[in-house]
Structure 1
Amino acid sequence: MHGRPEFDLYSLPEEHLALREAIRSLAEKDIEPYAAEVDEDARFPAEAHRALVGSGFHAPHVPDVYGGEGADAVATCIVIEEIARVCASSSLITAVNKLGTMGLMLDGSEELKSVVLPDVARGALASYALSEREAGSDAAAMRTRARLDGDHWVLNGAKAWITNGGESTWYTVMAVTDAAAGPRGISAFMVRSDDHGFTVGPLERKLGIKGSPTAELYFEDCAIPSSRIIGEPGDGFKTALRTLDHTRPTIGAQAVGIAQGALDKTIQYVKERRQFGSAISGFQGVQFMLADMAMKVEAARAMVYTAAARAERGENGLSFISAAAKCFASDTAMQVTTDAVQLFGGAGYTRDFPVERMMRDAKITQIYEGTNQIQRVVMARALLQ
C-alpha cells in the first residue's frame, strides 16, 4: 500500500454536519424553551410541531417526489437525535412520522403513496397501529379484523399504545384478514382520522414522554376504500417486520439524543457545583462517571448510524443490527440519565432541572418498538439462523 489511506469511512459528510448544526439551533431556540412546560402539562408540543413543519424537519424521510426533503436514514436519525437532546416528546413527531409511513413506502402502491405522503410532507402526522392490549410482544395474536365488502375493507377491533394517537391524520393499521393463516393472514391498511367508524379512545397517564399523546384506537365497522391496503392481503406482518428493521434505529437515535442531552447538562452542572471548596468536576469519582457516560453515548451513536446506513443501502439481514442498535442505545440512555440524576444529587431529583425528565423519558426507549428482551430474541434468532 502506497501513500496515506483516506480514513473517511466513519466520517459524516459535510451536509450531515451542516444538518446537525441547523437542527440543533432550531431545537435550542424553538423547542427547548417549552420542553419542561410540555412535560408538566402533558400537552402536545404544538410549538415544536410548527417549528419542525416550517423547516421541513417533521418528516425529512419523505421522498422529494412527494414534496418531502428526501433525507437519507442517517440524516433522519440526526434530526431525531438533536430534537431528543432537548425534548424527547417533540422528537416523536419526526420519529413516528417515519414509523407511520415506512410500511407504505416499502410496500404500498403508487396510488396510495401519492395520497398519503404529500399530506405528511405538508405537516400531517402519521402513526403506527400494531399493538393491542393482549397482543404486545406477541403481535401475531392480534384480534382486530378486516373483511372485504365490495370495494371497501371493513375494520373492527381496537389498538393500544398508539403514539401521537388523536393528533395524527393517518394510521398504518394491522388487522387479520384470514384468521386461519396465522401471521400470513395479517394485512396492513392506511386509515384516515375522519374515516367513518374510527374513533380515538382515552389517553394513557404515563411516566415520561408526556407531551406525546398515547391513545387507544377503536374501529367499529370502519369502512375504508379497497385501495387503502398496503401491498397484498396477507403481506401485513411481513411489512410490519420490515418496517421495524428500518425504524428501530430511529428509536436508538432518540435514545442517543436523550443521553447526550443529559450528559451535556451534567457536564455543565458539575463544573459549577462546588463542595469541599472546589468544583465537583475535580473529583476523580465524578470524572470516571462522566467518562463512562460519554464512552457509552459515543458507542451507541456509532451503532445507530451504522444500522441506519445499512438500512439506507437496502441491505438484507437488517434484523440483528437494527435490534442491537435500538437495544444498546436505549440501555445506554437509561444508564446515562440515571447517572446524570445521581451527579446532580438532590437537585437532580427535582423538576427544577431537566435530568429527571430525561430519566423518565429514557425508560420508554427500552420498551416501545419491541422491548429490549424482544430485541435480544430478535438478535439471537438472527445469529442462529
Structure 2
Amino acid sequence: MPATRLMPTEIGEDLIELTRTICDRSLRPKVDEVERQAEGGEVFPREVFAELGQAGLLSLPFPEEHGGGGQPYEVYLQVIEEIASAWMSVAVGTSVHSLTCFPVATFASPEQQATLLPGMLSGDQLGAYCLSEPQAGSDVAAMATRATCDGDGWRLKGRKAWISHAGHADFYTTFARTSDDGAKGVSCFVVPADAEGLDFAPPEKKMGLHGDTVREVFFEDVPVSDDRRIGEVGQGMSIAMAALDSGRLGIAAAATGLAQAALDLAAGYATEREQFGRTIGENQGLAFMLADLEAAVTSARATYLHAARLKDAGRAFSRQAAVAKLVATDAAMRVTTDAVQVLGGAGYTADFPAERYFREAKITQIFEGTNQIQRLVISRDLLRPRSHRRR
C-alpha cells in the first residue's frame, strides 16, 4: 500500500498518481531482472529514464520557461520517493540528474540558462555530477583536477571517482581547480559528452544499485569553452555545496522510498507466514518491531518534507537537509535490516527483494556526504553564535 501523502496542489496529486502508474507498469516488472543482469555486466536502463523524461518527471523542480516542471521541491521529492519504492537505482539516477542541472539553473547567466537548460530539462538528456576524486571524497577542497586557461577557453586535466551515469551521460557538471587558493580556487564547468579527451574506466563492481552505472571519469586535456563555465571563477565550491544541500534531500527521499518498500514487504509477509498455528504478525514481539519500523519511515518522511518546505519558502535549509539525509538513510538501513529478519531464511535469498533492499540501503549512508559528514554539518551549525545560526 502506498503511504498517504500531503500534496500542496492538485497538480502534485496528479504527478504522484502518474509516477505510481509508471512504477507499476514499467519499473516493478523490470527491476529484479535488470539488477541481476547488471551485476554480471553493465546494463543501464536508459529506456526507463526516457519514459520518465517523456512524462516530465526528470525536470520537475526547475523553471517552466526553460522546460522544467515548475513544481515545489516538496512535490519533486515525493516523486523521488515513489520511484525509489519501485527501483532504487532509477530514483538515485533521477536525483543525480537534478543535481547536475542545479548549478546551471541557479548560478548560470540568463544567456547560459537559455542555451543549456532546454536540453538538460528536455527529458532526453541525462547528466553526471563530477565532484569526488579518488583522494578527495569528503575532503572536496583537496581536489586535484585542474582547469587551465587556454586563450578564450579552458583545458581540464584530472580524474573523478564514483560518478553515476559515467559513459551514459550527455553532459558532465564538473568541478576543477582554477587556482591554488584552497576552497576559493575551484570553478564549475559543464562538459559535453562528446568533448575530446573525455574517457572512462570500467564500471565499478558494487554491492548494490547495479542499475546505476558508476565509473571513474578521466579528463585528458579536455577543451571547454568559457561559455560553459558556470558562475564566477573561484565560485565552484559554493556552487557545489549549494547543489549538495538539494541533492541530499533527493537521497533522503529515495532512502525513505526504499525503507517503505522494505516495510511493506515485511508487513505483508508477516500477515501470510504461519508458525505454531498463527501468522507471525500475531506475535507481539514482531508486531512491535513492525510498529517501530513504521515510526522510522514516517519520521524520515517528515524530516525531508520539513526541509523541502523551508527550501520552497526561500529559507535556509542546509542543516535541515543534513538532518533529513542522516535520519532517512539511517532509517533505511535499519528498516531493510529488520525486514530481512522478519522474512527469516527467505529474506536471505534472492527469491524475495529484501536482500536487495538491504544491499541498496548501505550506500545511502555514504554518498552525497557520509553520515559522519552530516553530523559535522549539523553540529557546526548548531554551535554557531546564535545571531549567525540558520533556522
TM-score range, shorter chain: over 0.9
Q: What corresponds to 1:205 in structure 2? A: 205
**Deviation by residue 1:309-350 (Cα, 9 ceiling, x = unmatched):** 21222213x221010000100000000000101101111111
Conserved 8 A contact 1:204-1:214: yes
Amino acid aligned to 1:13: P
- Structure 2 unaligned segments of length 5 or more: list them: 385-391
Q: What corresponds to 1:233 in structure 2? A: 233
Q: What corresponds to 1:315 in structure 2? A: 315
Conserved 8 A contact 1:31-1:47: no
Amino acid aligned to 1:35: V
Q: What corresponds to 2:388 in structure 1? A: none
Matched residue SS, 1:221: strand
Distance 1:132 1:13 in 2: 39
Q: What corresponds to 1:165 in structure 2? A: 166
Correspondence list, 1:114-263, <5 A: 114-122=114-122, 123-179=124-180, 181-263=181-263
1:112 CA displacement: 2.1
Q: What corresponds to 2:293 in structure 1? A: 293
1:382 CA displacement: 0.6
1:199 CA displacement: 1.4
1:11 CA displacement: 4.4
- Structure 1 unaligned segments of length 5 or more: list them: 1-9
**Deviation by residue 1:235-292 (Cα, 9 ceiling, x = unmatched):** 0001111111122111100000000011111111111111111111111111011100
1:21 pairs with 2:17: yes
Matched residue SS, 2:57: coil
- TM-score, structure 1 as length reference: 0.94
Correspondence list, 1:39-58, <5 A: 39-42=35-38, 43-58=43-58
Matched residue SS, 2:218: strand
Matched residue SS, 2:59: coil
Sequence identity (%): 44
Distance 1:116 1:361 in 2: 33
Aligned match for 1:32, one of 3, 25, 28: 28
Q: What corresponds to 1:76 in structure 2? A: 76
Distance 1:309 1:127 in 2: 26
Runs of 4+ that moved beyond 4 A: none
1:14 CA displacement: 4.2
1:12 pairs with 2:7: yes
1:61 CA displacement: 2.2
Distance 1:239 1:14 in 2: 30
Which stretch shifts more, 59-68 or 22-31?
Answer: 59-68
Which stretch shifts more, 236-245 or 19-28?
Answer: 19-28
Distance 1:177 1:13 in 2: 43
Distance 1:125 1:50 in 2: 9
Matched residue SS, 1:71: coil
Amino acid aligned to 2:240: A
Matched residue SS, 2:129: strand
Amino acid aligned to 1:354: P
Matched residue SS, 1:203: coil
- TM-score, structure 2 as length reference: 0.93
Conserved 8 A contact 1:188-1:236: yes
1:195 CA displacement: 0.8
Amino acid aligned to 1:196: E
**Deviation by residue 1:111-155 (Cα, 9 ceiling, x = unmatched):** 222232211222200111110000001010000000111111110
Amino acid aligned to 2:362: K
1:12 CA displacement: 2.9
Q: What corresponds to 1:337 in structure 2? A: 336
Distance 1:255 1:115 in 2: 34
Distance 1:37 1:121 in 2: 29
CA RMSD, Structure 1 to Structure 2 (Å): 1.3
Conserved 8 A contact 1:45-1:89: no
Amino acid aligned to 1:340: A
Amino acid aligned to 1:342: Q
